[in-house]
Amino acid sequence: MFHWLEKHPFFFAVGVFVVIAFAGLVEILPNFAQASRPVIGTAPYSTLELAGRHVYIKNSCNACHSQLVRPFKSETDRYGHYSLSGEYAYDRPFLWGSKRTGPDLWRVGNYRTTDWHENHMKNPASVVPGSVMPAYKWMFSNKADINTAFAEQLTVAQYFSVPYNQSVPMKDGTTKVVKMGGSVAEANAIALEEAKIIAADMKDQDVKDTVARGEIPEIVALIAYLNSLK
Amino acid sequence: MVNRPLEYDYTIAKMFMLTTIVLGIVGMLIGVILAFQLAFPGVNTILGEGLAEYTNFSRLRPLHTDAVIFGFTLSGVFATWYYVGQRVLKVSMAESALLMFLGKLHFWLYLVVVVAVVVSLFAGVTTSKEYAEFEWPIDIGVVVVWVLFGMSIFGLIGIRREKSLYISVWYYIATFLGIAMLYLFNNMEIPTMLGTSAAGESGIGAWYHSVSMYSGTNDALVQWWYGHNAVAFGFTVPIVAMIYYFLPKESGQAIYSYKLSLLSFWGLMFVYLWAGGHHLLYSTVPDWMQTMGSIFSVILILPSWGSAINMLLTMKGEWQQVAASPLIKFMILASTFYMFSTLEGPIQAIKSVNAIAHFTDWIVGHVHDGVLGWVGFMIMAALFHMAPRVFKREIYSKSLMVAQFWIQTLGVVLYFTSMWIAGITQGMMWRAHDEFGNLAYSFIDTVTVLHPYYVIRGVGGLLYLVGFLMFAYNIYKTMSARPVEDHELQNASPMGA
């Protein structure tokens, strides 16, 4: 058979393809519908949080920080409850990372504050002596891309039925509605309201002035995103 | 064409040899910079605060991996295909104007995509998925380049004189099919400009931005099915194709066992794809998939070692060549590192080992003993073998080759030993509890302890880069300094005797 295949490239290629595709069919497909269901307490990202997530991705924070708490005592002691599949239902893409040069961030919103992040992103070693993380000063002057975040909200609501403007159940029995603007102008207004809350807790006068002018620096969006990780 | 050897046409092989060397230097240089950034964070602002956004670790990291995988390695794969393909199929590229045109188009479009990738990654335009960072416009370019590669493979096969496909061709075909399937499925994404607001606005935001069609756990599953097998079909399969051709050619020995090559080829094809789950141990992926990933990773030792042992046994009775020929040295060390790396990987895929190794530098060490020791050495060996033939000139300096070999070997050893120690140290410190059941170390303790190993790793990487520059210089001098032979060097290797 093998000698015959080696003289018939078409059938050879078909054979190779069947053999390599087999594992994907068996391993990946069965889980698809199940794993994408959110658990109670998981809400979609707001416009500003999503813009912050884009800042996180733009700077490849995931190259050094994981977002996956494994079910070991040492990890739950350090980072909080281990990760559940449904908690990632609105994560497109997933940001688990593959290397922990810095600590896991999946529940960083539980134990770090806006103020801490502000100081840390400006000069990591001043907050954590010995840190090898570079400073991210440009995030204080670059503007967050709210329009793209809004476009992504629209896209996921449209194609994947992500429940924006609908009530989603929270752990304490209440419900929460994550607002998505009806227009670009409204989306920017919603993001700015959120940004003002973050900026109020920050010290950097330039950032405060920028937000007061109606613009949102990347750092504000990023902190909104990090605070949302709980 | 009567009674004389075919004159093969190496135009396109030469073009890809050039990009192999240039992108190799770029990728490895960025790697060395990254290594020293971890050892000395000041290196993040190496070009000043103003450019820190573009020179800091996180922005450069995807550039390093992509330059080495899709720049250096893939160029090497293309270069060797355009050399090996003609020779084992007994047909010259010059015989088909169409294939020649497609080959040139393949090269130039590849270059366009490379430039687009470099610009976009420096700008921070990325999907964040490892080795699949490119946004959808670039993905389309990648697909076109890949289809052209496939047309070249099957086109050349279509007009071949030698009816039986040699082992190397099996592996090139598998490379084409494997990457095509993986890349397409992992990059399923929807451009966000398709979203329409309630007010009827569309085309909002950045036109190149997209959102993954998979979410969370599913996205992770598809990504590591891809990520692991991009390693399989980028770093293993085509490199095995190379060694099956170049080692017998260079040593004058026939492949030890046809049956062993059959077993390892079909075994590798079947088993490799299952193993992606070992990147997701203890994650939220279902347990049975994690276990499958673990088990198949261990089974993977069989076909991997099958190829490697086949190569080593090919040298049976001719081991003096390892001492005499620097080129054989490169290839034997490459297959040894292949064995080493394909044993180390399965060990890391065992769940209890993975609990310590995952997220640490041990994984980085594993990647690099595979890539520096196996992929890098084999591609350089292939180019060393090709250079005298495509340029019709003897290799410029054999002693430079030997020096390069030892410098780079030392570099690889420093690299992986330091990363082993770093990884296991950190993994053990993360999980350590004191006598009262509290965590024994804060996270930063587990970072500062790594400093000496980061320095050693940086030095190891630098040595490898120095060796690669010696390689580039040697090839350059071969092209320019040696007298042209009046015919292609057909049989005797310039390294032999």
Mutation target for A interface from B51, B179, B204, B444: give the one with most A CBs within 10 A: B204
Q: For residue B3, what pLDDT is reported?
A: 61
pLDDT in tens, B18-58: 999 999 999 999 999 999 999 999 999 989 888 999 999 99
Q: For residue B489, what pLDDT is reported?
A: 63
Q: Would you call B225 and A24 a contact, using CB atoms and an 8 Å cutoff? A: yes
Same domain, yes or no: A152 and A60:
yes
ipTM of the complex: 0.94
Same domain, yes or no: A11 and A53:
no
Rounded to an integer, the average pLDDT of A52-65 is 97
Helix B377-390 to helix B451-481 angle (10° resolution) is 10
Residue A11 lies in a domain: yes
CB of B47 within 8 A of CB of B354? Answer: no
Q: Would you call A17 and B177 a contact, using CB atoms and an 8 Å cutoff? A: yes
Rounded to an integer, the average pLDDT of B456-480 is 97
Mutation target for A interface from B56, B57, B58, B136: give the one with most A CBs within 10 A: B58
Q: For residue B4, what pLDDT is reported?
A: 66
Rounded to an integer, the average pLDDT of B225-229 is 91
Q: Scanning every residue of chain A, which has its alpha carbon at the shortest distance from the alpha carbon of B190?
A: A155
Q: For residue B392, what pLDDT is reported?
A: 87
pLDDT in tens, B267-320: 999 999 889 889 999 999 989 989 999 999 999 999 999 999 999 999 999 999
pLDDT in tens, B381-423: 999 999 999 998 889 999 999 999 999 999 999 999 999 999 9
B229 vs A46, higher pLDDT: A46
Q: Scanning every residue of chain A, which has its alpha carbon at the shortest distance from the alpha carbon of B194?
A: A155
Q: Give the pair of three-digit tokens for residue B366.
A: 């594993």
Longest dimension (CA), chain A: 75
Rounded to an integer, the average pLDDT of A183-195 is 97
Q: Would you call B204 and A148 a contact, using CB atoms and an 8 Å cutoff? A: yes
Q: For residue B107, what pLDDT is reported?
A: 98
Taking the mean position of all CA atoms in its chain, how far away is CA B337?
14
Same domain, yes or no: A55 and A141:
yes
Question: What pLDDT band is residue B490 in, cutting at 50, 70 and 90?
Answer: low
pTM of the full structure: 0.95
Same domain, yes or no: A66 and A169:
yes
Percent of chain A whose predicted confidence (pLDDT) is above 70: 98
Q: Scanning every residue of chain B, which has its alpha carbon at the shortest distance from the alpha carbon of A12?
A: B170
Q: Would you call B173 and A158 a contact, using CB atoms and an 8 Å cutoff? A: no
Residue A40 lies in a domain: no
Please tell me the distance in Å from B191's CA to the nearest CA on chain A: 8
Q: For residue B278, what pLDDT is reported?
A: 94
**Which domain range does residue B254 map to?**
12-191+219-481
Please tell me the distance in Å from B131's CA to the nearest CA on chain A: 12
Q: Would you call A6 and B170 a contact, using CB atoms and an 8 Å cutoff? A: yes
- CA nearest to A149, candidates A19, A64, A40, A55: A55
Residue A52 lies in a domain: yes
Q: Would you call B223 and A93 a contact, using CB atoms and an 8 Å cutoff? A: yes
Which residue among A22, A85, A157 places its CB closest to the CB of B217?
Answer: A85
pLDDT in tens, B179-204: 999 999 999 999 999 999 999 999 99
Residue B205 lies in a domain: no
Residue B491 lies in a domain: no
Rounded to an integer, the average pLDDT of B128-144 is 96
Q: Would you call A13 and B217 a contact, using CB atoms and an 8 Å cutoff? A: no
B491 pLDDT exceeds 70? Answer: no
Buried b (16+ CB within 10 A) or exposed e, B343-378: ebbbebbbeebbbbbbbbbbbbbbbbbbbbbbbbbb
Please tell me the distance in Å from B125's CA to the nearest CA on chain A: 6
Same domain, yes or no: A144 and A178:
yes
- CA nearest to B129, candidates B193, B38, B66: B66
Same domain, yes or no: A25 and A137:
no
Which H/E stretch holds residue B216?
helix B216-230
Q: Give the pair of three-digit tokens for residue B350.
A: 């065992």
The residue to which tokens 């040894």 are assigned: B336
Which segments of B209-310 are extended strands (E)? 210-212
Residue A165 lies in a domain: yes
Rounded to an integer, the average pLDDT of A29-34 is 70
CATH number at B433 reads 1.20.210.10
Q: For residue B118, what pLDDT is reported?
A: 97
Could you give the CA distance from residue A195 to residue A218 in angstroms, rounded to a whole number? 10
Q: Would you call A74 and B432 a contact, using CB atoms and an 8 Å cutoff? A: yes
Residue B390 lies in a domain: yes
Rounded to an integer, the average pLDDT of B209-226 is 93
Please tell me the distance in Å from B162's CA to the nearest CA on chain A: 9
Rounded to an integer, the average pLDDT of B223-245 is 93
Q: Would you call B199 and A31 a contact, using CB atoms and an 8 Å cutoff? A: no
Residue A66 lies in a domain: yes
Q: For residue B496, what pLDDT is reported?
A: 42
Q: How many residues does chain A have?
A: 230
CB of B383 within 8 A of CB of B79? Answer: yes
Which residues of chain A neighbour B283 with C-beta distances below 8 Å? 68, 70, 83, 96
Please tell me the distance in Å from A167's CA to the nearest CA on chain B: 19
- CA nearest to B236, candidates B150, B142, B308, B164: B308
Q: For residue B394, what pLDDT is reported?
A: 87
B338 pLDDT exceeds 90? Answer: yes
Which residue among B130, B216, B266 places its CB closest to the CB of A91?
Answer: B216
Which residues of chain A neighbour B61 with C-beta distances below 8 Å? 60, 63
A223 pLDDT exceeds 70? Answer: yes
Could you give the CA distance from residue B109 to residue A116 in angstroms, rounded to a whole number? 47
Q: Would you call A16 and B157 a contact, using CB atoms and an 8 Å cutoff? A: no
B494 pLDDT exceeds 60? Answer: no
Percent of chain A whose predicted confidence (pLDDT) is above 90: 90
**Which domain range does residue A101 map to?**
47-228
Q: Would you call B443 and A78 a contact, using CB atoms and an 8 Å cutoff? A: yes
Please report the DSSP string for A202-225 in residue order.
Answer: ---HHHHHHHHTT--BHHHHHHHH
CATH number at A102 reads 1.10.760.10
CB of B213 within 8 A of CB of B189? Answer: yes
The count of CB pairs under 8 A between chains A and B is: 274
In this structure, the strands spanning A167-169 and A175-177 are: antiparallel
Same domain, yes or no: A60 and A30:
no
Please tell me the distance in Å from A52's CA to the nearest CA on chain B: 14
Same domain, yes or no: A121 and A15:
no
Residue A167 lies in a domain: yes
pLDDT in tens, B85-106: 999 999 999 999 999 999 999 9
Please tell me the distance in Å from A39's CA to the nearest CA on chain B: 12
Q: For residue A33, what pLDDT is reported?
A: 65
Residue B130 lies in a domain: yes
Q: For residue B497, what pLDDT is reported?
A: 34
Which residue among B56, B201, B448 places its CB closest to the CB of A134?
Answer: B56
Residue A41 lies in a domain: no
Question: What pLDDT band is residue B488 in, cutting at 50, 70 and 90?
Answer: low
Q: For residue A153, what pLDDT is reported?
A: 97
A10 pLDDT exceeds 80? Answer: yes
Q: What are the residue ranges of helices labelled H in chain A?
A: 2-7, 9-27, 32-35, 47-58, 73-79, 114-122, 124-127, 146-160, 184-200, 205-212, 218-228
Q: For residue A2, what pLDDT is reported?
A: 85
How high does pLDDT run on average in chain B? 94
Number of structural domains, chain B? 1
Residue A42 lies in a domain: no
How high does pLDDT run on average in chain A? 94
Percent of chain B whose predicted confidence (pLDDT) is above 90: 89
Same domain, yes or no: A143 and A220:
yes
Number of structural domains, chain A? 2
Residue B410 lies in a domain: yes
B492 pLDDT exceeds 50? Answer: no
Q: Would you call A98 and B266 a contact, using CB atoms and an 8 Å cutoff? A: no
Q: Would you call B205 and A145 a contact, using CB atoms and an 8 Å cutoff? A: yes
Q: For residue A63, what pLDDT is reported?
A: 96
Q: Would you call B221 and A35 a contact, using CB atoms and an 8 Å cutoff? A: yes
Could you give the CA distance from residue B280 to residue B219 in angstroms, rounded to a whole number? 12
Same domain, yes or no: A18 and A128:
no
A151 pLDDT exceeds 70? Answer: yes
Please tell me the distance in Å from A94's CA to the nearest CA on chain B: 5
Q: Would you call B439 and A159 a contact, using CB atoms and an 8 Å cutoff? A: no
B493 pLDDT exceeds 60? Answer: no
Which residue among B53, B128, B430 places its CB closest to the CB of A93?
Answer: B128
Q: Would you call B215 and A158 a contact, using CB atoms and an 8 Å cutoff? A: no
Which residues of chain B neighbour A16 with C-beta distances below 8 Å? 170, 173-174, 177, 269
Same domain, yes or no: A20 and A110:
no
Same domain, yes or no: A156 and A114:
yes
Q: Would you call B197 and A91 a contact, using CB atoms and an 8 Å cutoff? A: no
